Amino acid sequence: MTTAADTAPTTQPFQAEVSELLHLMVHSVYSETDIFLRELISNASDACDKLRYEAISEPELIGEGEAPNIRIIPDKKAGTLTVADTGIGMERQELIDNLGTIARSGTKAFVAKLAEAKDGASLIGQFGVGFYSAFMVADRIVVTSRRAGGSEVWTWSSSGDAGFEVAPASEEDAKRETRGTEIMLHLKEDAKKYLETYEIERIVGAYSDNIQFPIVLVGEEGEPRQINAASALWQRSKSELKPEDYTQAYKQIANAFDEPAMTLHYRAEGRYSYAVLLFSPSTKPFDLFEPARKGKVKLYVRRVFITDDADLLPAYLRFIRGVIDSEDLPLNISREMLQNNPQLAQIRKAVTSRVIGELETMGEKEPESFGKIWDAFGSVIKEGIYEDFERREKLLALSRFASTAGEKRTLKQYVADLKPNQTEIYFLVGDSIERLKSNPRLEAASARGIEVLLLTDPVDAFWTSARLEFEGKPLKSLSQGDLNFDLIPLLDENQDKAEPAADEAETIAIIKASLGDRVTDVKASTRLTTSASCLVAGSHGPDRELERLLSQQNRGMRTKPILEINLRHPLVSAIANRGSDKAIADDLSLLLLEQAQILDGELPEDPAAFAARLNRLVLQGIGSS
C-alpha cells in the first residue's frame, strides 16, 4: 500500500563517493566529453536487455507496447538533450539506489585514481559510473522512469551538487512515459554542440553502432530515423568485417578506450552451436585485481542478453572481454542453472582452450603484440599455473620470464640452453629484479653459467609452491632445500679448488651455539662462492618469499630459516679461529645471520643490537690495526 509519505517529494544527499565523483564531473577538465553520450546509450541498452530477459518469463511486461529501443531527442530551443529508452525502467527506490550511490567495492580507490588522471574518460566506463559523466556537459539532469508493469512514474533530478530530489512525475510526464527511462540533460553553454544532429550521429557511429537495439534520432523536423546498424556483430561472418569494425565493437562491449591487443571471432558448430567474439585489452582494466576476480564476458542466448556474471572463462583469463552467444541454452536459464549446466561447462572448456591456443599462436607469430598482452596481464595468467592443473604445461609454455639470460624468456628457450648435466630449471623469487640480481644465492649458479628465472610478481610465490616440471625438467628454487651443482662444470675451472679454511663441524657447532633457536639449522653452503652467508627454507613447506607474503597478510607464521655459510669466507674462518672467545664468536655469528636478513630485504630482529654489535666489531678491528 502506497502512503502519502511514499509519494511526497524527498531530497536526499549523495553518497560521499558520489559527491566526490560529481565534483570531478561538474568541474571537469577532461577533454573527451563525448563519453557521456556513449555511457547513456550503453545504460539504455542494458535496460532494454533486462526487459527482454525478464519478458521471457513475464511476456506481459512488453505485451502490445513498443519494442525495446533508444531515442535521442535534441531540443535547441530549450537547450536540452534527451536520451530515452523503452527498457525495464526504475521504481522510486531503484532511482535512489542506482543514481544516488555506487554499491561496489573499490569506489574510493577509483575516485582517487580518477582525480589523478589527466583524462578520466577511459576509467569512467570501466568502473560502471557512466551516468555521472553526463554532468560534464549538463548543469541539471532530470530522469523520469516507469518500471515495466508498474503504475507509478517517478522523477529524479539533480544539479550535481550536494544531493538530489525524487518526486512523483507530473501528469504530463506520466502520460508520456509508458515504460522505461527518459534522461533529460540541460546542457551547459559550452556543450550546446551536442544538439547538432551531425555531432550526435558522429558519436553514435564511433561508439554505439553495434548496440543491438535501434537508436532513433528525433530531429527538429520531427522525423525519427534510425542511426545505428543495430546488429549483433558476432553473428556476422568474419569476411564481412574490417579491423575498424572489431575495434568499435570492442570499445562498445568493453566500455574501453584502448585498442584491442587480440581479437578472437569464430562460430562453433556441432554438438553445441555458439558464436564467440572475444578481445584482449592492451591496457589493464581498473578492476583487474578486485578480490572477486570476476570475468566480464557476456552471455547471450539467441541474441538475448542473459548475464555478464556466468564465469564463462576461468579467473586467470578475467581480463578477456567480449560475448558468447549460444543457440542451444534455454532463454530462461537461472543463475543456479548457470553454475551447474553441463552444456555451459563444455562451452567454457572449449572457449578457454581456444583463447589459450590463440595466445600461443600470437606468442609464436606476433611476439611484439603478445608482449604487450603479457606485460599487462602476465601476472594474471600465471594464476592459472597454480589453479588449472589440466592446462598447467600449456600455461608454463605460454609464460614469459625475466632471467639472468635476458627478458621475456620462455621455458622452451631455457630447456634448449641447459648446461651439461643440468637436470633442473632454477628460479629465485623476490620483490625486485635488482635485488634478485645481487642475491648471494645466485653465486654458485652464476659461476657455472646456469640460467636462473627471476620472478618478482606476488603471484610467483604461490604458483612456484606447486610441484612443477616442464618437458620432464623439475622447477627448483635456489632459496629452498639442498642444491648439488657438482656435476655441472665451472666456467673457471680454477675457481673452486681452494680448500675451506674453516673446519666444517667445528664452525657449525660454534655458530649453532651462538644463534640458538633463531635458526632451525646451520649448514655449509653449495650456493655461495663469494658471500659469507644466506638464508634458505627447508625442502618441505613454503619458500621464503611465500612465507613473507603470507605473514604480511596474517595468514601464517614464519618458520625459522636455515643459515647457510661459506666455509671459504674470511668471516666464517674468523669464527672458527676465535671460537674460544665466546663474546666475539657470538657477535660474528649474529652478524652472519643479520647480514643475510638484510640481503633478503629484511630488518634484523633487533636493529639497535645489530648497530651496537657492528660498531663494536669495527672498533675492535680499528684497534687491532
Residue-wise pLDDT for 46-63, tens only, equals 899 899 988 988 999 987
Residues 543 and 596 in one domain: yes
The answer to whether residue 222 is domain-embedded is yes
At 304 the pLDDT is: 80
Residues 565 and 492 in one domain: yes
Task: Count up the domains in the chain and report the number.
Answer: 3
Residue 208 to residues 29, 233, 249, 276, Cα–Cα distance (Å): 24, 12, 8, 19
The answer to whether residue 383 is domain-embedded is no
Q: Answer whether residue 363 shows pLDDT above 80.
A: yes
Residues 132 and 52 in one domain: yes
The answer to whether residue 255 is domain-embedded is yes
The span from the CA of 222 to the CA of 614, in Å, is: 87
Three-state DSSP state, 185? strand
Q: Which residue has the cell 564476458?
A: 297
Residues 294 and 180 in one domain: no
Percentage above 90 pLDDT, the chain:
57
The span from the CA of 104 to the CA of 294, in Å, is: 13
Q: Answer whether residue 114 shows pLDDT above 70.
A: no
Looking at 173, 206, 226, the residue that finishes a domain is 226
Residues 438 and 582 in one domain: yes
Largest CA distance in the chain: 104
Residues 141 and 174 in one domain: yes
- Name the range with the highest mean pLDDT among 27-36, 188-197, 500-509: 188-197
The answer to whether residue 599 is domain-embedded is yes
- Name the range with the highest mean pLDDT among 32-36, 385-389, 499-503: 385-389
Three-state DSSP state, 300? strand
pLDDT in tens, 165-202: 999 999 999 999 999 999 999 999 999 999 999 999 99
Percentage above 70 pLDDT, the chain:
90
Q: Which residue has the cell 558468447?
A: 324
The whole-number average pLDDT for the span 470-484 is 92
At 117 the pLDDT is: 57
The answer to whether residue 23 is domain-embedded is yes
Residues 200 and 249 in one domain: no
Instruction: Please report which confidence band the pLDDT of residue 105 belongs to, taking 50, 70 and 90 as the band edges.
Output: very low
What's the domain range around 612?
417-625
**Where does residue 93 fall: left (phi above 0), alpha (psi -120 to 50 degrees), or beta otherwise?**
alpha
Instruction: Please report which confidence band the pLDDT of residue 97 belongs to, taking 50, 70 and 90 as the band edges.
Output: confident
The x, y and z cell numbers of residue 397, run together, are 609454455
The whole-number average pLDDT for the span 273-300 is 90
Instruction: Please report which confidence band the pLDDT of residue 523 belongs to, taking 50, 70 and 90 as the band edges.
Output: very high
The answer to whether residue 396 is domain-embedded is no
- Where is pLDDT greater, at 574 or 14? 574
CATH of the domain at 204: 3.30.565.10
The whole-number average pLDDT for the span 269-278 is 93
Residues 162 and 24 in one domain: yes
At 126 the pLDDT is: 47
Helices (H), ranges, 117-274: 121-127, 171-176, 197-207, 243-254
Looking at 343, 370, 397, the residue that finishes a domain is 370
Residues 298 and 160 in one domain: no
Least confident of 11-25, 72-86, 289-303: 11-25
Residues 311 and 454 in one domain: no
